[in-house]
């Protein structure tokens, strides 16, 4: 199964595409979609939409794993990220790709084995699990790969098999 993990945002959106077969994950492509700093926000959302629809068309994922929103202290940034996430969800829905959402703690648990793992621990485990020579850059790309791994592990769990 080809799984596209997406770390949502509006300025830098990380993505990672993996192939998951028989419990093994192989990285296929990763990187980041960026929008121009200083551009009007609606224009940035338009660029994000166009880039995401192109990415989905080019990569042809069978599933998308996206991080649920986590509001920290800056509500304004959180609202902008929510707008970007909505654009990403729309692009995925229009591409008819099944969408699966995971909380940050679910991703940490699936990748590092601990729901409160540090960002560096998750990034290093992502590197190890995918047998990469270095931690993927930018950090957002590593987050995208971690989301894809999370979905690969979640979809093959015994609990997933018990769902009606």
Q: What is the pLDDT of residues 74-122, one digit of tens each?
A: 677 788 999 999 999 999 999 999 999 999 999 999 999 999 999 999 9
Domains and CATH numbers, the chain: 2-162 (3.30.420.10)
Per-residue pLDDT averaged across 122-141, rounded?
Answer: 96
The predicted structure's pLDDT at residue 75: 72
- Active-site positions read 7, 67, 140
Strand pairing report for 2-7 and 12-21: antiparallel
Measure the CA–CA gap between 145 and 3, rounded to whole angstroms.
Answer: 9
| Prediction pTM value | 0.92
pLDDT tens string 43-66: 999 999 999 999 999 999 999 999
């Amino acid at each position: 199964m080809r799984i596209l993990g997406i770390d949502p945002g509006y300025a830098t959106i990380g993505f990672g595409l993996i192939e998951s077969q028989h419990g093994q994950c192989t990285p296929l492509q990763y990187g980041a979609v960026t929008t121009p700093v200083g551009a009007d926000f609606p224009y940035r959302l338009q660029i994000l939409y166009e880039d995401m629809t192109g990415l989905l068309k080019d990569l042809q994922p069978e599933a998308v794993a996206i991080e649920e929103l986590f509001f920290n202290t800056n509500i304004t940034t959180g609202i902008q990220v929510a707008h970007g996430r909505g654009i990403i969800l729309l692009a995925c829905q229009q591409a008819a790709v099944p969408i699966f959402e995971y909380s940050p703690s679910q991703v940490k648990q699936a990748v590092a084995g601990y729901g409160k793992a540090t960002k560096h621990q998750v990034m290093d485990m992502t590197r190890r699990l995918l047998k990469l020579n270095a931690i993927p850059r930018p950090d957002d790309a590593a987050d995208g790969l971690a989301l894809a791994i999370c979905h690969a592990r979640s979809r093959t769990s015994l609990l997933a098999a018990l769902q009606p």
